[in-house]
């Protein structure tokens, strides 16, 4: 059983997560609070395995909260703001859930926490294995294609399809950007526009709102919604 703590300054958000936890057999809600300082006391005096943690809270932010507990518990961040995703990469959280959180997405994050708990893993692996891949449904009826994640340069949203650019090829797949964004490792891939997900390792330059990728001739734009998170990610690497 995984002992859980919910920390969120909105009671409604706590109620939703508490209900989800109750529906999940391997999760047990030990405590919930709207006060992050109270939550620190709970962490220090109880066996907490997993925290569902909001980011924007009074007194102390979720990011600072994680730094304070110094890895004593696993954390799933819950927030209405996608711009904090970049900063969460280096904090090695279990998952990053955007509100409103649908139950299937909650279960996916909970399952990650369970896998880490049963395997004894203390951190989320953000490295790509050579054999990490996805199968996608293509335009051609009945055809599925295997794509190694390591080979993906960028992904472009195109109405009901996405164009996956990999190894000099373009594969049209019947997927949506949100599903792909959740599937790709967060330290290697980042959404920078409503229509673009890019491989961070392929970035060679940024000029205004244009992102240039190595050996890729494409007009990749940095959207205003995703700009704050992208800039925070870049700051972590600036000299």
The three-state secondary structure class of 15 is: helix
Same-domain pairing of 96 and 144: no
pLDDT band with cut points at 50, 70 and 90 for residue 236: low
Same-domain pairing of 184 and 217: yes
Same-domain pairing of 54 and 148: no
Same-domain pairing of 137 and 108: no
Mean pLDDT of the chain: 85
Same-domain pairing of 165 and 79: no
Task: Dump pLDDT digits (tens) for 58-82.
Answer: 888 898 999 899 888 999 999 887 6
The stretch 1-21 carries a mean pLDDT of 96
What pLDDT score does 177 carry?
Answer: 87
Nearest by Cα to 66 from 58, 76, 131:
76
- Pair 101, 53: CB distance under 8 Å: no
C-alpha span between 154 and 142 (Å, rounded)? 25
What pLDDT score does 42 carry?
Answer: 94
Assign residue 94 the CATH number of its domain: 3.40.50.2300
Same-domain pairing of 112 and 60: yes
Residue 73 included in any domain: yes
C-alpha span between 193 and 191 (Å, rounded)? 6
Same-domain pairing of 8 and 74: yes
C-alpha span between 67 and 167 (Å, rounded)? 39
Ranges of H-type helices in the chain = 11-22, 36-45, 62-69, 85-89, 103-119, 177-183, 227-235
The stretch 152-170 carries a mean pLDDT of 90
Least confident of 109-123, 138-152, 189-203: 109-123
C-alpha span between 85 and 80 (Å, rounded)? 11
Same-domain pairing of 87 and 180: no
Residue 124 included in any domain: no
The stretch 128-144 carries a mean pLDDT of 71
What pLDDT score does 123 carry?
Answer: 43
Residue 104 included in any domain: yes
Per-residue pLDDT at 165 exceeds 60:
yes
Per-residue pLDDT at 16 exceeds 90:
yes
Same-domain pairing of 43 and 98: yes
Peptide bond just before 235 cis, omega within 30 deg: no
* Residue 92 vs residue 172, higher pLDDT: 172
For residue 202, the enclosing domain spans 133-235
Q: Of 119, 151, 186, which residue sits at a domain end?
A: 119
Same-domain pairing of 98 and 185: no
Same-domain pairing of 108 and 161: no
The stretch 210-229 carries a mean pLDDT of 90
Residue 125 included in any domain: no
Same-domain pairing of 167 and 206: yes
> From residue 116, how far is each of 50, 113, 189 by CA, in Å?
11, 5, 22
Residue 127 included in any domain: no
Please state the domain count of the chain: 2
Task: Dump pLDDT digits (tens) for 82-130.
Answer: 665 555 556 778 888 888 999 999 999 999 899 887 755 444 444 445 4
What pLDDT score does 238 carry?
Answer: 65
pLDDT band with cut points at 50, 70 and 90 for residue 157: very high
Residue 126 included in any domain: no
Q: Of 119, 154, 169, which residue sits at a domain end?
A: 119
Q: Of 119, 148, 175, which residue sits at a domain end?
A: 119
Per-residue pLDDT at 235 exceeds 80:
no
Residue 128 included in any domain: no
C-alpha span between 192 and 173 (Å, rounded)? 20
Per-residue pLDDT at 186 exceeds 50:
yes
C-alpha span between 94 and 112 (Å, rounded)? 7
Assign residue 202 the CATH number of its domain: 2.40.50.1020
Per-residue pLDDT at 228 exceeds 50:
yes
What pLDDT score does 19 carry?
Answer: 97
The stretch 205-213 carries a mean pLDDT of 92
Q: Sign of dihedral through CA atoms 10, 102, 41, 71?
A: negative
What pLDDT score does 133 carry?
Answer: 77
Residue 83 included in any domain: yes
């Amino acid at each position: 059983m995984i002992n859980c703590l919910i920390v969120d300054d909105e009671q409604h958000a706590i109620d939703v997560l508490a209900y989800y936890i109750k529906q999940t057999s391997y999760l047990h809600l030990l405590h919930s609070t709207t006060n992050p300082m109270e939550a620190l006391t709970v962490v220090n005096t109880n066996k907490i395995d997993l925290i569902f943690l909001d980011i924007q809270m009074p007194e102390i932010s979720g990011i600072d909260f994680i730094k304070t507990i110094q890895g004593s518990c696993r954390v799933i961040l819950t927030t209405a703001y996608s711009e904090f995703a970049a900063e969460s990469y280096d904090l090695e959280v279990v998952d990053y859930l955007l509100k409103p959180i649908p139950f299937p997405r909650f279960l996916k994050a909970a399952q990650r926490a369970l896998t880490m708990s049963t395997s004894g893993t203390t951190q989320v692996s953000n490295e790509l294995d050579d054999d990490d891949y996805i199968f996608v449904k293509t335009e051609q009826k009945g055809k599925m294609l295997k794509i190694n994640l390591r080979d993906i340069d960028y992904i472009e949203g195109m109405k009901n399809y996405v164009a996956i650019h990999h190894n000099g090829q373009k594969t049209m797949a019947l997927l949506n950007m949100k599903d792909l964004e959740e599937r790709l490792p967060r330290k290697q891939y980042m959404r920078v526009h409503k229509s673009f997900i890019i491989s961070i390792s392929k970035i060679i330059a940024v000029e205004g709102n244009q992102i240039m990728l190595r050996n890729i001739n494409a007009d990749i734009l940095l959207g205003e919604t995703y700009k704050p998170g992208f800039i925070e990610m870049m700051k972590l690497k600036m000299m």
